Chain A
């Protein structure tokens, strides 16, 4: 158990819908990262927040957005869902904003878009 929690564990929805994924980092960690993992693309970095502020951006679509709240939990919002958005979405956390920090991953949310 990494100490990172994610809800829900599974999510099934339809194309065009909007969903919100939630992540709570390990106690004391200030950074939260979001990743998408699909069968054909591997693990793709989406976005990082550090202490409430966006720190780094990866291959995140405009239909996706995220935020980190004052209590440091984070939410990833996915809108206008398409079939291709079906994937495992992982959240990871680390103590600081970069440098030598190791990222610890949550159990993931499996999103299925029908």
Chain B
């Protein structure tokens, strides 16, 4: 099976930066995704990495190191609406997508 680890909770102040780490062990690799999920709502797509390096999209950036089985999601200029769960998901060699348990980010005023 797949093994995807991310911290359970993180708290940060409005306007600050938070980095959510994700480590994974999978059978084959065909990309890593980050999703945002507000309580009781559907996950929404944030970013996709398949090659090593940093992908930047507005206030959100995602980094991947395939050799280390490691990714992070960087949230800059935090806003109250960024309080949500952030899910790391890895597509394995059979193209199945496995999700981590999610990191709950709480943004304080």
Of the 9-residue stretches B19-27, B72-80, B91-99, which lies at the interface with chain A?
B91-99
Within 8 Å of chain B (Cβ to Cβ): is A83?
no
Shortest Cβ distance from residue A35 to the other chain B in the assembled complex, whole angstroms: 8
Query: How far is B97's CA from A102's CA once the two chains are assembled, in angstroms?
Result: 10
Q: Is the CB of A107 within 8 A of B42?
A: yes
Q: How many interface contacts (CB-CB < 8 Å) are there between A and B?
A: 51
Within 8 Å of chain B (Cβ to Cβ): is A49?
no
Query: How far is B2's CA from A42's CA once the two chains are assembled, in angstroms?
Result: 14
Shortest Cβ distance from residue A24 to the other chain B in the assembled complex, whole angstroms: 14
Within 8 Å of chain B (Cβ to Cβ): is A97?
yes
Q: Is the CB of A56 within 8 A of B95?
A: yes
In the complex, how many residues of chain B place their beta carbon closer than 8 angstroms to a beta carbon of chain A? Answer: 24
Q: Inside 8 A of A2's CB, which chain B residues have their CB?
A: 42, 44
Query: How far is B31's CA from A89's CA once the two chains are assembled, in angstroms?
Result: 24
Against A, the Cβ 8 Å flags (1 = close, 0 = not) of B39-65 are 011111100101000000000000000
Shortest Cβ distance from residue B8 to the other chain A in the assembled complex, whole angstroms: 11
* Minimum CB distance partner of A59 in chain B: B1
Shortest Cβ distance from residue A55 to the other chain B in the assembled complex, whole angstroms: 8
Q: Inside 8 A of B91's CB, which chain A residues have their CB?
A: 98
Choose one: A48, A55, A102, A106; the contact of B33 (CB below 8 Å): A102
Within 8 Å of chain B (Cβ to Cβ): is A7?
no
Q: Is the CB of B99 within 8 A of A42?
A: yes
Against B, the Cβ 8 Å flags (1 = close, 0 = not) of A72-104 are 000000000000000010100000011110111
Within 8 Å of chain B (Cβ to Cβ): is A16?
no
Query: How far is B41's CA from A103's CA once the two chains are assembled, in angstroms?
Result: 15
Within 8 A of A (CB), among B71-109: 87, 89, 91, 94-102
Within 8 Å of chain B (Cβ to Cβ): is A11?
no
Q: Is the CB of B42 within 8 A of A105?
A: yes
Within 8 A of B (CB), among A32-83: 33, 42-45, 48, 55-56, 58
Q: Is the CB of B48 within 8 A of A102?
A: yes
Q: Inside 8 A of A104's CB, which chain B residues have their CB?
A: 45
Choose one: A42, A56, A99, A102; the contact of B96 (CB below 8 Å): A56
